[in-house]
Amino acid sequence: MIKLFKSWRKKANAPEAMATDLDNIPKHVAIIMDGNGRWARKLGLPRIVGHRNGMKAVKRATMAADELGISVLTLYAFSTENWKRPKEEVDYLMSLPQEFLALELEELIEKNVQVRMMGHTDELPSHTFAAMEEAMERTKQNTGLILNFALNYGSHREITETVRGIAEKVKTGDLSPEDITEQLLGSSLLSGDLPDPDLLIRTGGELRLSNFMLWQTAYSELWFTDLYWPEFGRAQLVEAVSEYQRRTRRYGGLS
């Protein structure tokens, strides 16, 4: 059934309104939010202003994902490689979850959103970890959109540590090598209880995955835009979802 995305049905002449099949919404959308720095440079502003405006785009993407009926939105907010950036920038990025949650947590709770984090989170600064923990605690019973922040996340490390954990179990005799299946490995990853992303979006014009959910995106549909992340909003999410709905997913089989 082809319908216009909820509130936009009323304003069908709006440029962002487009046909979206509400029966074929991707369950899990993952986003590589790239281009904050270049957006700022384009405007002659410091990089951290780009990140701050990136935070506003997080709000827009979250609200649009919720309205569309997406079940999980995973946002790549900080990679295991991002520690290489200047301290001032790292410190600023680590302050954003706190700032975002101070501004938005009440509305997220109202909208039944469940906040989560995924990554090597014990290495986050304590103020970042504490803010996320509080949000997770306060939203853990919520049954709406799962807003999953990838923080200090890196796929190679995730897979390596998961395999090490499985190897330990083999060593102690709790598992035998034959028990190691794709299902076991997938469900042992940090995202183990979530469906794999159906749609992966990357902003900022680069065409790469940058160590993000490499196992989980094996069959994700990829959508790239040259727009910088601070320019991302509901129109782009709908465009990506509409494009997703035009794809035929064959998983290596025949359509």
- Catalytic residue set: 34, 82
Window 25-64: contact mask with ligand FPP (x via CB under 6 A): --------xxxxxx------------x--xx--x------
CB nearer to ligand FPP: pick between 87 and 171: 87
Closest CA relative to residue 59, chosen from 97, 10, 12 = 97
Residue with smallest beta-carbon separation from ligand FPP: 37
Q: Does 204 bind ligand FPP (CB under 6 A)?
A: yes
Stretches 95-103, 164-172, 213-221, 234-242: which one binds ligand FPP (CB under 6 A)?
95-103
| Neighbouring residues of 182: CB distance < 8 A, sequence distance ≥ 6 | none
Q: Does 236 bind ligand FPP (CB under 6 A)?
A: no
Q: Does 93 bind ligand FPP (CB under 6 A)?
A: yes
Closest CA relative to residue 71, chosen from 111, 107, 28 = 28
CB 188 within 8 A of CB 205: no
Phi-psi region of 117 (alpha: psi -120 to 50; beta: other; left: phi over 0): beta
* CA 38 from centre of chain: 20
Q: Does 97 bind ligand FPP (CB under 6 A)?
A: yes
**210 known member of a binding site:** yes
User: What DSSP assignment string belongs to 105-160?
Assistant: HHHHHHTTPEEEEES-GGGS-HHHHHHHHHHHHHHTT--S-EEEEEEEE-HHHHHH
Tokens describing residue 39: 């957006």
Cα–Cα dist 50/39, whole Å: 6
**208 known member of a binding site:** yes
Q: Does 142 bind ligand FPP (CB under 6 A)?
A: no
The interface with ligand FPP within residues 155-194 (CB under 6 A) comprises none
Q: Least CB distance from residue 2 to ligand FPP, whole Å?
A: 32
Binding residues for ligand FPP, rule: CB under 6 A, are 33-38, 51, 54-55, 58, 77, 82, 93, 96-97, 100, 149, 204, 229
Binding-site members for Mg(2+) are 34, 221
